[in-house]
Structure 1
């Protein structure tokens, strides 16, 4: 899996896991993507650094250097929005 895809997937499921701490499937899926990021791509300290009105800033370390990847907030929160809009998951 490409780094960009794994990081985005981690972001979306991280937002879901934070909003739904009792959702064990979300927590396990988040951990799975974190494992991909740390083992396959050698990232460290992956975290949501900042959320503002329009963007989500994801900070991580790669080769000892701090990096930031930004995503539009609407896209980053889309999975949570889709889950919340589907009564089957509420």
Structure 2
């Protein structure tokens, strides 16, 4: 993944899915993959997440520098919302 912004977006998206579906092993594995990518490819050692009505705020440390990224809630939450609306399309394979 080339940009840290893209890596954080993917990490945050699958994090919300994994938290909404704690029995979904594929979501857990994918979350671990993106967390590993943040660490190894982008030097992210710490993350802190805050959800506000309109935005997710990601506070992180990369290569010793504290930084912030923000993502619109509607872009992140749409995946979980779609899974809740159409559960038949998103079977949980254990």
TM-score (norm 2): 0.85
The yes-or-no answer on 1:75 pairing with 2:43 is no
**Cα deviation code 1:22-50 (max 9, x no counterpart):** 111111100001111100111111342x1
**Runs of 4+ in structure 1 displaced over 4 angstroms?**
none
The yes-or-no answer on 1:32 pairing with 2:33 is yes
1:74 positional shift? 0.6
The answer (yes or no) to whether the contact 1:13–1:29 under 8 Å persists in 2 is yes
Instruction: Please report the RMSD computed on the Cα atoms of aligned residues, expressed in angstroms.
Output: 1.3
**Distance in 2 between residues matched to 1:30 and 1:10, nearest whole Å:** 6
Higher Rg: 2
**Cα deviation code 1:7-32 (max 9, x no counterpart):** 10000000111111111111110000
**Distance in 2 between residues matched to 1:60 and 1:5, nearest whole Å:** 14
**Distance in 1 between residues matched to 2:9 and 2:31, nearest whole Å:** 11
1:75 positional shift? 0.6
Q: Which runs of 5+ in 1 are unaligned?
A: none
The answer (yes or no) to whether the contact 1:55–1:73 under 8 Å persists in 2 is yes
* Paired position in structure 2 for 1:58: 58
**Distance in 2 between residues matched to 1:16 and 1:47, nearest whole Å:** 17
User: How many residue pairs are counted as aligned between the two chains?
Assistant: 89
Q: Which runs of 5+ in 2 are unaligned?
A: none
Give the secondary-structure state (helix, strand or coil) at the position aligned to 2:53.
coil
